[in-house]
């Protein structure tokens, strides 16, 4: 069976989920192809992806306006965007020859699947919704999808409000890449030794692939609140931020660019500070490391549900100001660890093959 997974570079979380699903698919004996048609197709579609990443990196507070604009214009559904790519879709599917399609991105649930229905291609189309809580992108709901995989009942409810039959929705666990798991005290010690970390608390500030938002000020606030701790600052592709942090000449700030093996940094940490992206948050939870979700500098609408859930479900901290961040960081590791019981209640680890096995059944 040939499984085609659709993802996009507009949010590294989608790619992380896609890679985890691809690995599980290959382990299950599938022939797997992972493609990014939004970036590969017409210039108009590529421009939307580029605009998203530009706003995310430099103006995250404006993402709410972008979110609402896309919700009104629905470019993933409109004919003006579909017409120029029909030829591309035909060639794309002829080259891939998939037996099933699995999308992990809200902008990839309509055009290819519409072409399949119009041409009666008989290819089952699935979607894994990476956002665990609403509100999320309206594009997740599509009349061309045969089955949806969601993380929570709240997500299922949001889909039904958007007209999706509840019988088409299946509850699953978050698929994660290998390495995100609980570590024993000895394993944490070994990880810190391998990373050459100093004594004291270790706080990971995860800026994601783009390294956007007020990360510099956030990292400085952490250092002030935990003067005896070490900050692991992941800046992604933001080279300017890396250089700016290097100029501080602070041996308690370890600066990283884009990190492939970030599970090692998560495992070595006492606290992970990240924007409320689903994958970065769940990677922390799978490692049973408390997460602090930040809305400092602006909270994207599609991440607000997870942000609120951190406090409501008790698995982490949610902060909107630097003062709130400093207060929680100053509490220290003993206080942060009290979140572990709630983490275990909220997140139960599973194989990334959960979704793959269900696709085999359907």
- CB of 308 closer than 8 Å to CB of 133: yes
Domains of the chain: residue spans and CATH: 2-174+350-361 (3.40.50.2300), 185-346 (3.40.50.2000)
The pLDDT of residue 177:
87
| For residues 41-58, average pLDDT | 60
Residues with Cβ within 8 Å of 95's Cβ and at least 6 positions away in sequence, in order, are none
| For residues 108-134, average pLDDT | 95
The pLDDT of residue 208:
87
> d(Cα 229, Cα 311) in Å, to the nearest integer?
25
The pLDDT of residue 301:
83
Give the tens place of pLDDT for each residue, 297-341. 888 888 999 999 999 999 999 999 999 999 999 999 999 999 999
The pLDDT of residue 46:
60
Helices and strands (H, E) in the chain, number of each type: 18, 12
Instruction: Tell me: pLDDT of 53 over 60.
Output: no
Instruction: Tell me: pLDDT of 74 over 90.
Output: no
> d(Cα 118, Cα 1) in Å, to the nearest integer?
23
Q: Which of the pair, 80 or 256, is modelled with greater confidence?
A: 256
| Residue 169 three-state SS | strand
Instruction: Tell me: pLDDT of 64 over 80.
Output: no
The pLDDT of residue 4:
98
Instruction: Tell me: pLDDT of 57 over 80.
Output: no
Q: Which band of pLDDT confidence, cut at 50, 70 and 90, is reported for residue 50? A: low
| Gyration radius of the chain over CA positions | 21
| For residues 272-291, average pLDDT | 95
The pLDDT of residue 82:
83
The pLDDT of residue 56:
59
Give the tens place of pLDDT for each residue, 180-210. 999 999 999 999 999 999 999 999 999 988 8
């Amino acid at each position: 069976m040939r499984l085609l997974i659709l993802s996009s570079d507009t949010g590294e979380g989608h790619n992380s989920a896609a890679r985890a699903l691809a690995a599980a698919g290959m382990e299950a004996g599938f022939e797997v192809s992972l493609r990014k048609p939004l970036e590969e197709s017409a210039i108009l579609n590529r421009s939307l992806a580029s605009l998203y990443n530009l706003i995310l990196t430099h103006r995250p507070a404006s993402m709410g306006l972008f979110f609402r604009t896309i919700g009104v214009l629905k470019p993933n559904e409109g004919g003006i965007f579909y017409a120029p790519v029909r030829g591309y879709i035909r060639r794309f599917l002829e080259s891939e020859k998939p037996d099933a399609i699995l999308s992990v991105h809200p902008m990839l649930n309509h055009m290819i699947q519409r072409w399949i229905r119009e041409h009666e291609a008989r290819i089952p189309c699935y979607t894994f919704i990476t956002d665990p809580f609403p509100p999320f992108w309206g594009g997740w709901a599509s009349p061309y999808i045969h089955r949806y995989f969601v993380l929570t009942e709240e997500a299922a409810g949001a889909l039904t409000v958007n007209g999706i039959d509840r019988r088409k929705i299946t509850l699953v666990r978050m698929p994660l890449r290998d390495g995100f798991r609980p570590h024993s005290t000895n394993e944490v010690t070994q990880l810190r030794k391998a990373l050459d970390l100093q004594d004291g608390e270790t706080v990971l500030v995860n800026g994601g692939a783009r390294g956007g938002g007020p990360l510099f000020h956030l990292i400085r606030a952490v250092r002030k609140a935990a003067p005896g701790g070490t900050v692991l600052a992941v800046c992604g592709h933001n080279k300017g931020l890396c250089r700016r942090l290097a100029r501080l000449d602070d041996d308690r700030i370890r600066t990283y660019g884009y990190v492939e093996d970030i599970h090692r940094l998560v495992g070595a940490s006492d606290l992970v500070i990240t924007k409320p992206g689903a994958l970065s948050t769940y990677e922390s939870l799978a490692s049973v490391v408390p997460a602090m979700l930040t809305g400092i500098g602006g909270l994207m609408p599609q991440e607000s549900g997870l942000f609120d859930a951190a406090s409501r479900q008790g698995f982490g901290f949610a902060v909107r100001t630097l003062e709130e961040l400093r207060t929680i960081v100053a509490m220290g590791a003993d206080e942060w660890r009290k979140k572990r019981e709630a983490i275990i209640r909220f997140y139960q680890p599973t194989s990334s093959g959960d979704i793959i096995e269900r696709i085999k059944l359907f």
